[in-house]
Structure 1
Amino acid sequence: MATTTPPGVRKAGPKHGPADPKHGTHGHHHGGAPAPMTHRQILEALSGLMLGMFVAVLSSTIVSTALPTILADIGGGQSAYTWIVTAALLAVTATTPLWGKMSDLVSKKLLVQIALVLYIVASVAAGFSQNAGMLIACRVVQGVGAGGLSALSQVIMAAMISPRERGRYSGYLGATFAVATVGGPLIGGVITDTSWLGWRWCFYVVVPFALIALVVLQKTIHLPVVRNKKKVDWLGAFFVTAAVCLIMVWVTLAGDKYDWMSWQTAVMVPGAVVLAAIFVLVEFKAAEPIIPMRLFRNKTISITSLASVFVGVAMYSGTVFLSQYFQLSRGKTPTMSGVMTIPMVAGLFLASMGSGQVITRTGRWKAFLIGGGVFLTGGAALLGMLRSDTPYWQVAVYMALIGIGVGLMMQNLVLAVQNQVAPKDLGSASSLVTFFRTLGGAIGVAALGAALSSRITHYTKDGFAALGIPVPASGGGESGIPDLKKLPAVVRGVVEGAYGHGIGDVFLYAAPFAFVALLLVLFIKEVPLRTNTGLQQAAGAAEGTPEPAPARASATISQPALEPELVSAAAGAQSAAAYATAGTSPYGEEVPMNGSMIHGFVRGADGSAVGSATLTLISLQGRQLGRALVGPDGGYSLAAPGPGSYVLIAAADGHQPQASTVVVGDGPLGYDVMLAGTSGLAGAVRAAADGQPVADAMVVVTDVRGEVLATAKTGESGTFSFEELTPGSFTVAVNAAAFRPVALPVEVDGQGITRIEVELASGAQLQGVVRAGAEHRPLADARVTLIDAAGNVAGTATTGEDGSYAFTDLDAGDYTLIAAGYPPVATSLSVDGRGTDGHDVELGHPDE
C-alpha cells in the first residue's frame, strides 16, 4: 500500500531572505512569490532593454535610407537591395525561437548581453564591407544579435511585469520602436549626405548606443539566474533555419532568375515543406523543443501566430520600400526621405502608447487588435495608389494609417500570447509571435522585392516605349540602383515614374495580407489579463502556492496557474452571471436577490464540467455555513449569510482540492472554480539480466528537496503505483535484496498516469570472517582486498573486532580475495550474483 503526502498539504520550503530594495525582484510575498516591482524599479530595468531595442531597430532603419547610396558605391541591384534587408530578417526569424528557448534554460541577462556583443562586432565589420556579398554576410550576424534583443526584451519584460500592467510598459517599447524608426532614417540620411562621414558611419554610429546598453543592462537587470542542465534543441534550430532559408531563396529569385512555374520551384518548394515537416517531427520528440508543439493546442496561440505572419508582410513592406519611394521616385535626399516618413512613425508612437495605457486601465485588448487590422489594411490599400506625383499630404495620411495599425497590433499580439502561457513557456511563447512576424516580414520583403524588380522593369520598358527611345542600360530594374542625379531628364522622369508605380503595386499586394490578419484576430478569444508577473507565477508553481486568477467582480481568487489551453474556461463567469440576472440557479431554483448568493461553474483542467464536485462554504473562523453538490453541467449555487469574506472549498474525485477566499458584496457573486486534475505514477521493476519481475522491491518517491513523498513495495508481478501525486519533477529510488539500488528522475504530467519501467542489475554480496593463529580466533584490523577477473580492485575492507568483512553490489563472476595481516593469503572464488556468498579466510602465524 503506497503512502503519499495528503493532497493539499505542502511541505515547508526553504525560507527566503528579506526583499532586496535595490534589485526589486528578489522580495517575496504570498508564500514566497517575488514582490511586485515599483514603477520606478520597472522603468530602471526597462531602460537597458529599451536601449537594446533602440539599437536593434536603428540598425534596420538607419541603413534603409542609405541603401541606394551604398549600392551605388559598392555595386548591386534590386536583388542585392532586397537581400541586405532580408538577410537580417532571415537571421532574426531563424534565431528568435532559439533565443526564446534558451531564455527558459539559462540566464536571460547573460543572453541579452551576448546578443549585444554579437551586434557590435557585426556592425563594425559591416562598416568595412567592400561588396554586397560581404555586407549581406555582416547583416546576417547583425540579425542574429537583433533577434536576441527583440525576443529577450519581450521575455524579460514578461518576467518582471504582469499582463495587466504590461500594456502600459509595452507602450514604452513601442515608443522606442517608433523613435528608432524615425530617428534611423534621419541619422542615416544626415550621415550619407555628409561628405566627410560617408555611409560606412551608418554602421559605426550604432556601436556607442550598444555599448551604453551593455552597461545599463548590467546595472539595472536583476533576475534570478537559472541553473538548468537541459540541452538546447540544436537539431530543431538547424531544420527551421534550413526551411526558412530555402523558401526565401525561392521567393527572391522566382520570376527573375527563373519562372514561377519551373523545375527550380518544383525542387525548392517541396524541399522547404519536407524540411518544415522534419522540424515538426523533431520538435515533437525533443526533450526541450525550440517551439513546443503543445502550445498550438491553444486556439489563441495558433491564431495569433498565424496572424503575425500576415502582419509581418504588411509591416515590413512599409518600413523597407518607402525609403526607396521617396529617394528614387520623388528625388529626395536620404535625410529628407527620413523626415517624410515621420507621419508613419508618429502614428505608431501614439497608437502604441495610447493603447498600452488604456489596456492597463481597462484590461481589454481585443478591440485594439481589430482596430489595428482595420488601419493596417486601409493604409496598405491606400498606399497601393502611390505614384511619383501623388500629393505628399495624401501619402502622409496613408503612412499614418499604416503606423497606427502596426502600433495597435505589434505589441498586443505578444501580450495576448503571454497572458495564456505557464511561466516555463514564457520565453518560447513570446519568441513565437516575433518568429512568425519576422518570418512573414522576411518572406514578404523577399517576395515583394522580387515583384518590385519585375514591375520596375516592366514600367521602365513601357515608359521608354511610349517615348519611342530604347531602354538605357542603367534605366532601372535589376541592372542596378540608379543614381538619379546622373540620369538625363527624360530618363530620370521614366525611372521615377516606374519606381512610384512599382512601389504602389507592392503595397497593393501587401493589403490582402493585412486583411487576412484582420480576419484572424476576429477569432481570438479575449481572456482577462492576469495580475501576476512571470517571476511570481514561476515562484508559485515551484513552491505549490496558488496563483491569483484575473480579478472579476468582487472576488479575491486563489487558483493554481493555468496551462495555456485552460485559460479560456475563465469566461464561464459571464455565463454564471446570466443565471443571477435571471433570478435562478443553474438548475432553475430560486436565487435570493438580496445579494447573499455565490454561483458559478466548476471546471476541470481541460475546461470540461466537473459534475462530481462538492463545494463547502465556511467562515474565516472555520464554521461550516453551506454545502452544495455540483450539477452535471458543473454549475452550482450557494447561499451566504450576508456580505463578507468567506472560504469556498471545492473537492472532487480525481482532482486536487482547492480553497479560495471570496468576498460577497450586496449583489450576487459569480465565481468559477478551476480544479487541477491529480496525476499518478505507476511502473514495474524487473531484473536486468532476464527481465523477470522483482517482488518486494522497495520504491521510494522524493521531491526536488529530497523529502520522501511516498513509499511502496512491489507485488509478485513486480508492479507498483502511486496515486494523487501533484505534477512535477521527482526522484524514484528502488532497492531490492540481491540487486543494486537505482535512482532515476521522473516527470509526472498534470493528467493521467505516468508509467515507467525500472531495471535492477544483480548485486551480489560477499562476506566472511578472517581468522588467524593456532586457536583460529577472529582477527581485527586485517586488510581484505577483492580483485576482479580483469585485475581491477573491486573493493577493500578492514575487519572489525569480530574479524568480519563484507563487499556489496558485486557483479557475478570470478574474483581473487587477498587477506593480509599475517602473511597474506590469496584465494580464488566465484560469485554467482544470486544473494550473499560466504567465504572465511584462515591466516597462518609466521611462527607456525
Structure 2
Amino acid sequence: MAHAPAPAPDKPLVVLTQRTIWLIFGALMASMFLSSLDQTIVSTAMPTIVGELDGVAHQGWVVTAYILAVAIGMPLYGKFGDLYGRRWPFLVAIGLFTVASAGAGMADSMLTLVAWRAVQGLGGGGLMILSQSIIADIVPASERGKYMGPLGALFGVSAVLGPLLGGWLTEGPGWRWAFWINIPVGLAAFAIAWFALRLPSHRSSRPVDWAGIVSMAVATTGIVLITSWESLADGGYDWTDGRLLGLVALTVAAVGAFVLAENRAAEPLIPLRLFKNRTFTITTLIGLVLGMGLFSAMAMLPTFLQMSTGAGVTESGWLMLPMMVGVMLTSIVSGFAVAKSGRYKAYPIAGLAIVAVGMVWLTTLAGDTSMWVFGAMIFTLGAGMGLVMQVVVLAVQNAVDPSELGTATSANNFFREVGASVGVALFTTIFTSRLTDNLGQVFAGAPDVGAGAEARLTPAMVAALPEPLHSGVVDAYADALAPSFWYLVPLVLVGFVLALFLPVIKLSDVAGMVARGEAIEDPAKVAARQEAVGERAAERSEVPVGTAGAAVGHHDAAPTDIVER
C-alpha cells in the first residue's frame, strides 16, 4: 500500500484533545451546511431564474453542470488531500464555492449561470469529500459514528430549511439572493476553518497522475451527458444522431484509457488495487445501486406532490419533511449505536431492507392517496437511507490504509454520484414516457382545452382544471410514477444482498492522523483508557480459581476482539 509522507520533524505534532476535535468538527459542520443548503435553495428558485434569464431550453445544463463538476472534483480532492494534506484543499473548496455564489448571483445569461454553477460544483464536491476524510483523520473509527451521524442529519436540516428560505428569497428580495446568501455563510465558514482547521500539510515527491485525471474527467463527462441526453438534446435519444454515437464512443475510449493509466501510474488517482479489498468493493457497489435507486425516487416525488396537491415548490418541500425526519433520526441513532457497540454490519442490511419496503409501498401510490399515507411512505425511505449512507462510508474508511483515507472515501462517493446521475436519467425517461401517454389519453377527450396542453402543465393550471379533468391529470401522474418504482426495487434488493456479504472488521481505535504519525492522541484519553485496562486486569485477578478459565475464555471471545467475515 502507498504510505503518506512523514511530517517534517521540525513541525509540532497536533494534539487531538477533545476541544480540538470539537473545533474542527464545528468548521466541518459550517462548511457542509453551506454546500447542502445551497442545493435546496437553488432548486426552489430555478423556475423563476429560468423565466427571467429566458433559459427554458438550457435548464437541464444548470443541474448537469453542477453534478458533473461535483463528480469530477471528488477524486481530485480525495487524492490531493492524501498527498498534500487537507487544510489547503478544504479552504480552496470554500473559496471556490463562495466566489462562484457571488458570480452566479450576478449572472445575466444562462450560459454565465451554467459556468458559475460548474465552479460551485467543484467547491461543493470538495466540501463533501474533505469533511468525511477530515473526520476520519481526527476521530478513531470506533468513535466516528457519533460524529458522522450529525453530519448526515445536516442534509436533512438543509433539505427542510432550503425550500422555505429559497421560496422566501425568490418572492422577496429576488432569486439572486438565493446565491448571494452563501457569501456571508461562506466567509464565516472560511474564517472558522482558517483558525480551527489546524491540520498538517506536507509535500509529495510522487508525480501527479495527469493521464488518470484527464481520462477520468472525459469519461465522467461522457457518462453524465449520455444519461442526461433526454433533457439536453432537442430530439431526445436518437441513436442515429452522430453526436450521440460519437459521445458514446469517446466515453468508452476514455474509460479504457483510465484503466490503462491507473495500472501504470506511480500514484494513481483511484488505485485499482482498492477493488481487491472486499469491503471497499462491496460498499462502493452498495453506493452505486443506492444512488441509482434512491436518488431516482427522490427526484420525481416533489413533482408528483406539486401536481397532485397544487402545492408550490416551497410547500412541496415541506411535504417532503417526513423523509428528512427519517434520515435525521436513524443517521444519528445508528451513529451513536455503532460508536457504542463497535458493530456496523446490521445497519446497512436493515436500512436497505427498509428502503425496499418503502419502494414497494410507493408502487401503490394513487391520485387519492392521503398526505398522511404519503408521509409514512417517504418516512420509511428516509429511515432506511439514514441507516446506510454514513455507515458504508465508515466501513470503507475502517478497511483501508490510513494513508488512503481520502482516496477511498472519494472513490466511494464518486461511484454513488455517478449512479445517481445514471439512475435519475433512466427513471425520468421511464416516467416521462408513461406520463406522456397517460396525459395524451386524458386530454384526448377534452378538445376545448387546446392542443399540446399536456406539455404546458403547471401546478397552478392543474389546480384550476375542472372535474373530471383535474382528477384525470392527477391520476395520470400517479399511474405514471407508481409502477415506475418497480424498476427501482431490484436495484435496492441487489444492494441488500451485497450488504449480507459485507465483512465486519473491528473498528480501529486510532485516528488517521495518529496512525500516520501526524498527531498524538489526547494524553488524558490515553490515561483514562490505561486506567480502565488496569481496572479490568485487577478484576480478572480477583476471580476465584475455579472460574478463572471461564473468565479468560470469555475475554478472549469478546465481540470487540473478533474480526468477523
The TM tier, using the shorter chain, reads: 0.7 to 0.9
Give CA-to-partner distance per residue, 1:379-410, whole Å, 9 cap, x none.
Answer: 23323433443210111011111111221111
AA matched with 1:103: G
Q: Secondary structure at the match of 1:379?
A: helix
Q: Secondary structure at the match of 1:419?
A: helix
Deviation of the 1:202 alpha carbon: 1.6
**Is 1:26 the counterpart of 2:6 in the alignment?**
no
- The structure richer in strand per residue is 1
1:548-627 superposed matches below 5 A: 595=548
Radius of gyration: which is bigger? 1
Q: Secondary structure at the match of 2:118?
A: helix
Q: Secondary structure at the match of 2:289?
A: helix
1:699-718 superposed matches below 5 A: none
* Counterpart position of 1:236: 212
Q: Secondary structure at the match of 1:539?
A: coil
* Counterpart position of 2:540: none
* Counterpart position of 2:191: 215
* Counterpart position of 2:50: 71
* Counterpart position of 2:169: 191
**Structure 1 Cα separation of the partners of residues 459 and 113 of structure 2:** 20
**Structure 2 Cα separation of the partners of residues 346 and 668 of structure 1:** 40
Runs of 4+ residues deviating >6 angstroms: 13-18
**Structure 2 Cα separation of the partners of residues 453 and 83 of structure 1:** 18
382, 385, 399: which one pairs with 1:420? 399
Worse overlay, 146-155 or 390-399:
390-399
306, 310, 316: which one pairs with 1:327? 306
Deviation of the 1:260 alpha carbon: 6.6
Q: 2:310·2:459 contact (CA, 8 Å) conserved in 1? A: no
1:517-536 superposed matches below 5 A: 517-536=495-514
* Counterpart position of 1:463: 442
8, 17, 30: which one pairs with 1:37? 17
* Counterpart position of 1:251: 227
**Is 1:669 the counterpart of 2:552 in the alignment?**
no
**Structure 1 Cα separation of the partners of residues 324 and 463 of structure 2:** 32
**Is 1:181 the counterpart of 2:156 in the alignment?**
no
* Counterpart position of 1:276: 255
Give CA-to-partner distance per residue, 1:450-477, whole Å, 9 cap, x none.
Answer: 334333322221211143557534532x
AA matched with 1:396: G
Deviation of the 1:188 alpha carbon: 1.3
* Counterpart position of 1:512: 490
Q: CA RMSD in A?
A: 3.3
**Structure 1 Cα separation of the partners of residues 261 and 555 of structure 2:** 51
1:367-446 superposed matches below 5 A: 367-446=346-425
CA distance 1:371–1:128, change in 2 (3 Å): same
**Structure 2 Cα separation of the partners of residues 352 and 108 of structure 1:** 25
Deviation of the 1:412 alpha carbon: 0.9
Q: 2:87·2:200 contact (CA, 8 Å) conserved in 1? A: no
List alignment gaps of at least 5 residues for structure 1.
1-12, 19-24, 28-35, 543-547, 557-591, 598-663, 672-848
1:658-737 superposed matches below 5 A: 665=552, 669=556
AA matched with 1:220: A
**Is 1:484 the counterpart of 2:472 in the alignment?**
no
**Structure 2 Cα separation of the partners of residues 413 and 376 of structure 1:** 15
AA matched with 2:393: V
- The structure richer in helix per residue is 2
* Counterpart position of 1:570: none
**Structure 2 Cα separation of the partners of residues 381 and 486 of structure 1:** 27
1:640-655 superposed matches below 5 A: none
CA distance 1:525–1:45, change in 2 (3 Å): same
CA distance 1:337–1:250, change in 2 (3 Å): same
**Is 1:97 the counterpart of 2:75 in the alignment?**
yes
**Structure 1 Cα separation of the partners of residues 11 and 226 of structure 2:** 57
**Is 1:112 the counterpart of 2:100 in the alignment?**
no
* Counterpart position of 1:770: none
Worse overlay, 261-270 or 308-317:
261-270
AA matched with 2:394: L
293, 306, 309: which one pairs with 2:288? 309
Deviation of the 1:510 alpha carbon: 3.1
AA matched with 1:100: G
CA distance 1:540–1:486, change in 2 (3 Å): closer
Give CA-to-partner distance per residue, 1:411-439, whole Å, 9 cap, x none.
Answer: 11110100011111111001111111111
**Structure 2 Cα separation of the partners of residues 513 and 325 of structure 1:** 22
**Structure 2 Cα separation of the partners of residues 137 and 374 of structure 1:** 40
**Structure 1 Cα separation of the partners of residues 47 and 475 of structure 2:** 17
Q: 1:233·1:290 contact (CA, 8 Å) conserved in 2? A: yes
* Counterpart position of 1:161: 139
Q: Secondary structure at the match of 2:14?
A: coil
Deviation of the 1:243 alpha carbon: 1.3
**Structure 1 Cα separation of the partners of residues 32 and 382 of structure 2:** 18
Give CA-to-partner distance per residue, 1:21-68, whole Å, 9 cap, x none.
Answer: xxxx723xxxxxxxx432x43222111111111111112111223333
CA distance 1:125–1:172, change in 2 (3 Å): same
* Counterpart position of 1:539: 517
Deviation of the 1:281 alpha carbon: 0.9
Q: 1:93·1:442 contact (CA, 8 Å) conserved in 2? A: no
Q: 2:105·2:176 contact (CA, 8 Å) conserved in 1? A: yes
AA matched with 1:297: K
* Counterpart position of 1:820: none
Q: Secondary structure at the match of 2:91?
A: helix
Deviation of the 1:482 alpha carbon: 3.4
Deviation of the 1:488 alpha carbon: 5.7
**Structure 2 Cα separation of the partners of residues 101 and 109 of structure 1:** 13
Deviation of the 1:481 alpha carbon: 6.9
Q: Secondary structure at the match of 1:280?
A: helix
Q: 2:289·2:495 contact (CA, 8 Å) conserved in 1? A: yes
CA distance 1:260–1:593, change in 2 (3 Å): farther
**Structure 2 Cα separation of the partners of residues 204 and 56 of structure 1:** 13
**Is 1:351 the counterpart of 2:330 in the alignment?**
yes
**Structure 1 Cα separation of the partners of residues 366 and 191 of structure 2:** 46
**Structure 2 Cα separation of the partners of residues 80 and 437 of structure 1:** 25
Deviation of the 1:71 alpha carbon: 3.1
**Is 1:338 the counterpart of 2:225 in the alignment?**
no
Q: Secondary structure at the match of 1:66?
A: helix
**Structure 1 Cα separation of the partners of residues 141 and 126 of structure 2:** 22
- The structure whose RCO (Cα within 8 Å, separation 6+) is larger is 2
List alignment gaps of at least 5 residues for structure 2.
1-6, 521-525, 535-544, 559-565
Deviation of the 1:514 alpha carbon: 2.1
TM-score (normalised: structure 1): 0.58
**Structure 1 Cα separation of the partners of residues 351 and 406 of structure 2:** 25
Give CA-to-partner distance per residue, 1:100-142, whole Å, 9 cap, x none.
Answer: 0010112311111111111112222222344544433322221
Give CA-to-partner distance per residue, 1:203-228, whole Å, 9 cap, x none.
Answer: 22222211111111112111112222
Give CA-to-partner distance per residue, 1:701-742, whole Å, 9 cap, x none.
Answer: xxxxxxxxxxxxxxxxxxxxxxxxxxxxxxxxxxxxxxxxxx
AA matched with 1:110: W
**Structure 2 Cα separation of the partners of residues 253 and 68 of structure 1:** 20
AA matched with 2:120: Q
AA matched with 2:116: C
AA matched with 1:175: A
AA matched with 1:285: R
**Structure 2 Cα separation of the partners of residues 470 and 116 of structure 1:** 50
**Is 1:88 the counterpart of 2:76 in the alignment?**
no
Q: Count the aligned residue pairs.
A: 530
AA matched with 2:223: I
AA matched with 2:273: R
Q: Secondary structure at the match of 1:104?
A: helix
**Structure 1 Cα separation of the partners of residues 474 and 484 of structure 2:** 15
Q: Secondary structure at the match of 1:65?
A: helix
